[in-house]
Amino acid sequence: MKIEKIDHICFAVKDLEKTKRLYREDFGLIPSCEYIAESEMIKVSRYYIGEVAVEFMESTSPEGEVARFIEKRGEGVFLISYKVDDLENAMKELESKNVDLIDKEPRELFGTRYAFVHHPNKLHGVLTELLEGEFDINK
């Protein structure tokens, strides 16, 4: 498996509009894009800081993973996403090392394929995502 870069870091927030206002007023940051991922039950604002994206996510449902995370741990770092050269091979390699994966098959959103690693406790409480492809909200 070749990790090419950190693609993005996500923060779980209760109030996305309040968060956007704070980052605009205090840091002068404007979202590069915003989207709703119905399959993940999230509303997202994405900011690019150099090559790495920072995403702030608000749950669209009390049953969503982000809502459950906030309920259990409060707002904060939710996940880190690593871009890999070949997602399916990366998944196979991790499985051969007895690393549990949440996903047995890649998911897809906006032309990007991704899968989650099921080791948040071993990985310091941060959900880890592997992804392949270029994020494009227009796809």
Residue 60 sits in a domain whose CATH number is 3.10.180.10
Is the pLDDT score of 119 beyond 90?
no
Is the pLDDT score of 114 beyond 70?
yes
Residue 83's DSSP bridge partners are 5, 131
The reported pLDDT for the residue numbered 49 is 93
Domain count, the chain: 1
Confidence of residue 113 (pLDDT cuts 50, 70, 90): very high
The reported pLDDT for the residue numbered 46 is 96
- State pTM to two decimals: 0.89
In a domain, 42, yes or no: yes
User: Residue 13: how many CB atoms within 10 A of its CB?
Assistant: 23
Region for 111 from its dihedrals, namely left if φ exceeds 0, alpha if ψ lies in -120 to 50, beta otherwise: left
Phi and psi at 128, nearest 5°, equal: -115, 135
In a domain, 112, yes or no: yes
In a domain, 137, yes or no: no
Structural domain for 104, as ranges: 3-132
In a domain, 138, yes or no: no
Question: For 26-76, how does the pLDDT look when each residue is reduced to its tens digit (9 = 90+)?
Answer: 999 999 999 999 989 999 999 999 999 999 999 999 999 999 999 999 999
Is the pLDDT score of 12 beyond 70?
yes
Residue 120 is classified by DSSP as T
Confidence of residue 103 (pLDDT cuts 50, 70, 90): very high
Confidence of residue 118 (pLDDT cuts 50, 70, 90): confident
In a domain, 70, yes or no: yes
In a domain, 139, yes or no: no
Question: For 77-100, how does the pLDDT look when each residue is reduced to its tens digit (9 = 90+)?
Answer: 999 999 999 999 999 999 999 888
Kindly provide the residue ranges of all beta strands, DSSP E only, lying in the chain, ordered along the sequence.
3-12, 33-37, 42-49, 52-59, 76-84, 107-109, 112-117, 127-132
In a domain, 34, yes or no: yes
